[in-house]
Structure 1
Amino acid sequence: MAIFEYPEIFLFLLPAMILFLVWRTKTQKKTSLPTNWPLVGMLPGILQNSHRIHDYATDILSESGGTFQFKFPGVFNMDMLVTCDPANIHHIFSRNFSNYPKGPEFRKIFEILGDGIFNADFELWELHRRTTLAFLNHTKFYSLLESSVWGKVGTGLLPVLDDLIAKQGANNSHEVDLQDVFQRLTFDNICKLVLDYDPCSLSVDMPYIPSEKAFNDAVEALLYRHVLPESVWKLLKWLELGKEKKLVEAWKAFDDFIYPLIPSTFEGDKRDDHNMLACFRKAYEEKLSNKGLSTSTTTTRDFLRDTALSLMFAGRDTTSTCLTWLFWLIAKNPSTETKILEEIEIEFKKWRLFSVEESRRLIYLHGALCESLRLFPPVALEHKAPIQPDNLPSGDYVKSNAKVIVSFYSTGRMESVWGKDCLEFKPERWISASGGIKHEPSYKFPAFNAGPRTCLGKEMAFAQMKMVAATIIYRYKIELLEGGGYPVVSPRDSIILQAKHGLKVRLSRRN
């Protein structure tokens, strides 16, 4: 990472850089654990590894038994406990859930999400969860999901991929960024579900839609807010510099896109129970009228904007990220592609569109998706702060309001949790002796979060990913373009674990 591309780091880490470089010439460490230097704390080690922050945290946690205390300069008051220990995850997310709300610090970092479900605590969180669950459990929901996903596959995904193949021509030179394709597809789907509007970002002309691309800038800036002092990122925001400038621009792009799509009134007829924003409007206003809700938003329209944006974050980035890493892992392990193809042919004989219920028959593909989620969980980390002091199962003590970072990325890569083959892509580890899906507890497999905040859209996500993945694998051969002039595929330094340079492939039709 070129340091001058990141002024927010350069602004306050120059002394740490100098000190680190001087000491580095004198000694070479044989440990991943960072040195706690006088005055600058562990910032030099973080700086040296800022281009691989998730793997750096994994190396440290692996060496330190799953939990580590990062020390920062005292003036910044931002020491943090980082953990990937399943026992700690179970304690924080389930057993002592009430002591670990999102809290004011989380809301500051994720201010762009306002009163959406990811920022919400207590009564507001209960409102979000109850309303979302009621919508997902509606008798018409799965038919809506099926028509939406298969419709986008037919009118967007297949025409786009066929057009890109045609553009390759005789010299076979045109490359495809599958990550971009997946992000456009999931953006269109979630917009249709939440806003009842299809922006058609996945179409042959591949239009540039600012709000769709704004997600990529936002998630990277949000990661750096975790490791920068609040005073620094707020100054950068005010000056509109670096990643904070991109976050401000993303915020505007979201508002410009969402607000015009929020109706000033909703039809008071039978459609209300099957329109997501109408359901949230009704629940929100009923709760306000009973004076049982405390929020930071001033109008119902603002609340619906926050709700829509949070759901769009969940629907676009998590699903597209899992699909991206799935196809990278399959390309690296071609025998798994053969097994997925065999399973499709056994279960459906001849290719056809399948239902959400029928998607559950694709056991091996389900295992492959779980492996993608284990090794590359879309939400790489979670931020918590206890209300009261707490003793974790690992033996670590945390003060009230202390910053606790839970690394889901590291949990999936711990030999102590997943065995000596923890870094291998093995869909078989998810298949039971009887041939069904093997269940793993959420604190060991936290890709969908854990405890009461477990993702409500888990089943929806699996169904959508199976529809898309099965379609592509059945119809196309994929050649991974990595090395030999193409960038190595690696995770971005962001909250959402996207591929840093996309997923460049070359496609051809399967016979």
Structure 2
Amino acid sequence: MASISLLEASLSLSCFLIILCYFLNKKHSGYLLNKRSYPWNWPVLGMLPALFLWSQRIDIFIWVLEKSNLTFLFKGPWFARKMDALITVDPANIHHILTSNFSNYIKGPEFNEIVEVFGDPLFATDSELWKNLRMSSLVILNRQGFQNLSLNVTTSQLKNVLLPLFSHYSEEGTVVDLQDVFRRFMFDISLVLVSGSDPQSLSIEMPEDELAKAFEDAGEAIVFRVMMPRFLWKLQNRFGLGKEKKLIEAGKTFDRVCAKYIAAKREEIIRSQQGIGHDHVHLDGESEEDLLTYYINLDTSKYELLDPSDDKFLRDSILAIIMATRDTTSSALTWFFWLLSKNPNVEDKIRNEINANLPEGSQERPIWSAIERREFLNKLVYLHAALYETMRLYPPLPFERKTSVKSDVLPSGHKVDANSNVIFLIYALGRMRSVWGEDALEFKPERWVSETGELRHEPSSKFLVFNTGPRTCSGKHLAMVTMKTTVVEILQHYDVKLVKGHKIKPKAHLNLLMRYGLRVTLTKRCSA
């Protein structure tokens, strides 16, 4: 009976996809919108055909939001009403949901189920567990010792790995996928910060790392879950088919690899307590403690719901940290260098700013203290602005989802029923003319610089890249330091040129990727 049910479901899905393919043809795409510029609410299918169209042509989604006064109700198929969602890019609504009425909007059990492969990470939890995870992460991220560790690890990976690799590519005239390079670069940094171990996934050989591959497979499967009716991905999961099969395997890889890191770290801590092995490096009076060591030694009297003896808690923490460190930063760096290749005037301004603020004699003294490097980076206002402008147009996390606890009325006048989904399309928010002005689609770092030359503040409900309210990204400062450090080193030593004719197109993923990578050539600068 199970095989017959599976066959029937497969045939139904095949017919469904054939219909969608017909409507996704560009010359028929207009049929998906009605005269009021809303997506057609089809019998049975609801607005699902339009969702598939939007995944291929996000420009249409942006147009719909502009015509809908920044908010509209998406209706899922009648057989998947849990796909219904209020989609908004209205900053007033965003502020209300994520700040003013924060307690009424949670991640919810449905979202937790979609990302269940990651366990109970900070980004998927609610209530008291979230508070415990949030406070414990803030403690370590705000420690001067960990901030020094992050900066030193980034600098070391640049000097010892990335720049020598670029030198090789430059001498060989090799075409490089910069997206792949940045994802590997940030993956290695994240593992060192988490466990103290370097997986060395970034090298001339570009070896496949099983943990990194598991993240890729999991990300693609989760996007599939978001866009498909629940019963379809549940069916695939039950029989181990398609992307769900890869997701199941990714979960096993997460368990196995994290268990290895946890066991090694526990043994290292025991050896350290016995006076065997090396002590942590101390700088500026604080220990450079990696994140796994911190969580294993966590004071449970302060965080009642966190159990350092539970390997699952440690496993979930490892995965959350890698996602937060690797995926977002590598995405921003990839889009940044593409935008620089299209805007040489911006690149010139950044280089001039770097040269104008380099400490005297720094070329003869390549090793800086952490304090000196932070002071230098703080002066790079235009570079900071260019990175913000990149993330406004190409946010590393393109959307966010919330679920209401009780019914509510938004500032826009839209009613939200209890247990309803609300989605913020952050990618579209950064491109709204009614929010950012008529030049919203232009790459213009100057919009972030005040008349006095300081960084201009924009409300976080308008610039949602680092979230807003109580869930504001706790690693925001570290991410900006990492990106600025990386950009400075690359621009000081290399010219990056986009391969002629290379196609750039966003890819549906948990974070914003380039579908075909970023293919470039590297030329060593004469002054380097």
TM-score, normalised by the number of residues in structure 2: 0.87
Give the Cα–Cα distance (whole angstroms) in 2 for the partners of residues 323 and 8 of structure 1: 43
Task: Tell me the SS of whatever aligns to 1:479.
Answer: strand
Does structure 2 conserve the Cα–Cα contact (< 8 Å) formed by 1:176 and 1:504?
Answer: yes
Moved more, 233-242 or 396-405: 233-242
Report what 1:303 is aligned to: 313
Equivalent in 17, 20, 36 of residue 17 of structure 1: 20
Residue 115 (structure 1) aligned with residue 120 (structure 2): yes
Q: CA deviation at 1:14?
A: 3.6
- Which region of structure 1 is more displaced relative to structure 2, 414-423 or 69-78? 69-78
**Does the aligned pair in 1 maintain the 2:93–2:412 contact within 8 Å?**
yes
User: 1:161-191 deviations in whole A, cap 9, x for unaligned?
Assistant: 11112222xxxxx310111111111111111
Correspondences of 1:332-351 after superposition (within 5 Å): 332-348=342-358, 351=363
Tell me if the contact between 1:175 and 1:504 (Cα under 8 Å) persists in the aligned partners. yes
Query: 1:150-189 residue pairs with structure 2 within 5 A?
Result: 150-168=155-173, 174-189=174-189
The one-letter amino acid of 1:305's match is R
Question: Any conservation in 2 of the 1:71–1:80 contact (CA below 8 Å)?
Answer: yes
- In the alignment, the residues of structure 2 paired with residue 284 and residue 237 of structure 1 have an alpha-carbon distance, to the nearest angstrom, of 38
Structure 1 segment 258-407 matched on structure 2, within 5 A = 258-263=258-263, 264=266, 266-267=269-270, 274-283=289-298, 285-286=300-301, 292-293=304-305, 300-348=310-358, 351=363, 352=366, 355-407=373-425
* 3-state secondary structure, aligned to 1:385: strand
Give the aligned partner of residue 68 of structure 2. Answer: 64
Counterpart contact for 1:156–1:204, Cα < 8 Å: no
- Is 1:139 aligned to 2:178, yes or no? no
Query: Partner of 1:479 in structure 2?
Result: 497
What is the alpha-carbon distance in structure 1 between the residues aligned to residue 325 and residue 30 of structure 2?
Answer: 49
Aligned residue-pair number? 491
1:26–1:338 Cα change, 3 Å: closer
Match of 2:6 in 1: none
Q: Matched residues in 2 for 1:90 and 1:408: separation?
A: 13
Aligned identity (percent) is 42
Give 3-state SS (helix, strand or coil) of 1:478's partner. Answer: strand
- Provide the rounded CA distance (Å) in 2 between the counterparts of 1:442 and 1:192: 31
Counterpart in the other structure of 1:4 = none
Q: Residues 111 and 346 from structure 1, CA distance in 2 versus in 1: closer, same or farther, beyond 3 angstroms?
A: same
Alignment of 1:421 with 2:439, yes or no, is yes
Q: Could you tell me how far apart the structure 2 residues matched to 1:281 and 1:498 are?
A: 33
- 1:121, distance to aligned residue in structure 2 (A): 1.3
Q: Distance in 2 between matches of 1:163 and 1:413?
A: 38
- Secondary structure (helix, strand or coil) at the match of 2:335 reads helix
Distance 1:43 1:15, change over 3 A: farther
Alignment of 1:86-105 (within 5 A): 86-105=91-110
* 3-state SS of paired residue (2:350): helix
Change (3 A) 1:456 1:336: same
Partner of 1:75, secondary structure, is coil
Question: For the Cα contact (< 8 Å) 1:101–1:384, is it kept in 2?
Answer: yes
- In 2, Cα distance between equivalents of 1:107 and 1:438: 36
Q: Which residue of 1 aligns with 2:219?
A: 219
Answer yes or no: is the 8 Å Cα contact 2:40–2:47 preserved in 1: yes
| Separation in 1, partners of 2:41, 2:140 | 50
Q: For 1:204, give the aligned amino acid.
A: I
Residue of structure 2 in register with 1:490 after alignment: 505
Q: Please state whether the residue corresponding to 1:477 is helix, strand or coil.
A: strand
Question: Are 2:261 and 1:251 equivalent residues in the alignment?
Answer: no
Q: What's the CA shift for 1:400?
A: 1.2
Q: Tell me: CA distance 1:82–1:279, structure 2 relative to 1, closer, same or farther (3 Å).
A: same
Segments of structure 1 that go 5 or more residues without pairing to the other structure are: 1-6, 169-173
Q: For 1:125-158, what per-residue CA distance to the aligned partner results, in whole angstroms no more than 9, with x for missing partners?
A: 1111111111122231232122101110011101
Partner Cα distance (1:399, 1:255) in 2: 38
Q: Which moved more, 1:125-134 or 1:323-332?
A: 125-134
Residues 149 and 288 in structure 2, CA contact (< 8 A), matched pair in contact too: no
> Compared with structure 1, are the counterparts of its residues 357 and 12 closer, same or farther at alpha carbon in structure 2 (3 Å cutoff)?
farther
Which residue number corresponds to residue 283 of structure 2?
none
Q: Deviations over 1:15-65 (max 9, x none)?
A: 75388589949969686531111222112222334323x444322212211
Aligned AA for 1:67?
A: T
Distance (Å, rounded) in 2 between the aligned partners of 1:439 and 1:152: 32
Q: Indicate conservation of the 8 Å contact 1:135/1:273, yes or no.
A: no
For residues 69-84 of structure 1, the aligned pairs below 5 Å read: 69-77=73-81, 78-84=83-89
Equivalent AA in structure 2 for residue 492 of structure 1: K
The alignment yields a C-alpha RMSD, in angstroms, of 2.7
Distance 1:25 1:104, change over 3 A: closer
CA distance in 1, matches of 2:29, 2:202: 51
| Counterpart amino acid of residue 436 in structure 2 | W
Q: Deviations over 1:325-344 (max 9, x none)?
A: 00011111111110011011
Distance 1:51 1:92 in 2: 29
Shift in Å, 1:316: 0.3
Distance 1:182 1:405 in 2: 29
Which structure 2 residue ranges, 5 or more long, are not aligned? 1-9, 274-278, 281-286
Report Cα offsets for 1:51-96 as digits up to 9, x if no partner.
23x4443222122111111112222112111111111110111001
Matching of residue 230 in structure 1 with residue 207 in structure 2: no
SS in 2 for 1:404: strand
- Kindly indicate whether the alpha-carbon contact (under 8 Å) linking 1:16 and 1:40 is maintained by their aligned counterparts in 2: no
* 1:212 CA drift (Å): 1.6
Paired with 2:463 and 2:134, the residues of 1 have a C-alpha distance of 21
What is the CA–CA distance in structure 2 between the aligned matches of 1:374 and 1:165, rounded to whole Å? 31
Counterpart residue number, 1:106 = 111
Is the Cα–Cα contact under 8 Å of residues 8 and 232 in structure 1 kept in the other structure?
no
Alpha-carbon distance, 1:247 to partner? 2.2
